[in-house]
Amino acid sequence: MPDASRRSIFITGAGSGIGRATAVLFASRGWFCGLFDIDAAGIAETARLLGPAGHTTGILDVRDRTAWTGATAAFHAAAGGRFDVLMNNAGVGRHGWFEEISAEDSDWILDVNVRGVMYGIRAALPLLEATPGARILNVASAAALYGSPRLAAYSASKFAVRALTEALDLEFERKGIRVVSLMPYFVETPILDMGTGPASNHVMRDEIMAGGMSVYPVELAAERAWQAVHGQQTHVTVGRDAGRTRFAARFTPNALRRALSKSLRRLG
């Protein structure tokens, strides 16, 4: 029988990266985890890392509004009627000049990163509302702090996630639900390998390495996710550089713009 006293977290994009690391951390601290992803092999590997008990799995394309209803209901039942945290982590991107990214890929980014988050919140809301102290954790990005060149569509999608988080945190106060976000800088996940398209020979990781920029371990993101779920901040950054970007975007935006413009000139 499901243990109704055990807190639970539903994680999208749990087949790799931040989603997987968060599942491993929360499971190690006694939480029941719902592992959902479009990647069946990735989900199986995450489940293996968690061991034979304390989780449920499912294939979920976050763009499928109907599928969300079934996934959240199945998780709720497996978790003993609890739904403590919805973690909207699934995300995609393309990296390159705006005109190099196809219209179809731009639509894909918005569909996964924005509509997928909204679909998840709508589907889970009644179940979250019925669980005292529930939270929604939306994974945004440091790209939501200042418009990020060569990540225009991705940055726009994460700005939308940031705005949605702030609006719903105020709206859902009347429902007893906090809505918070995670804002990672570059973290060692598969998304660093995004290029202008699926067969791109030049990916974002190349520019990060060439520019000497920091890449933070995925375990740090998981620990910060834990803090976001248990703390009082609306937005929780991951990595010192994310904190610096947040400060610069707020207090010295012109200096940040000049630094970004200088970096772009090196790319031609």
Compute φ and ψ for 245, nearest 5 degrees. Answer: -65, -40
Contact 142, 185 (CB under 8 A): yes
Token pair, residue 250, equals 């707020």
Q: Which of 119, 146, 154, 216 is catalytic?
A: 154
Query: Does the annotation mark 119 as catalytic?
Result: no
Judging by beta carbons within 10 Å of its beta carbon (0-12, 13-18, 19+), is residue 8 exposed, middle or buried? buried
DSSP reduced 3-state for 59: strand
Residue ranges with strand state E in 50-129: 55-59, 85-88
Token pair, residue 140, equals 């945004």
**Residues with catalytic roles:** 154
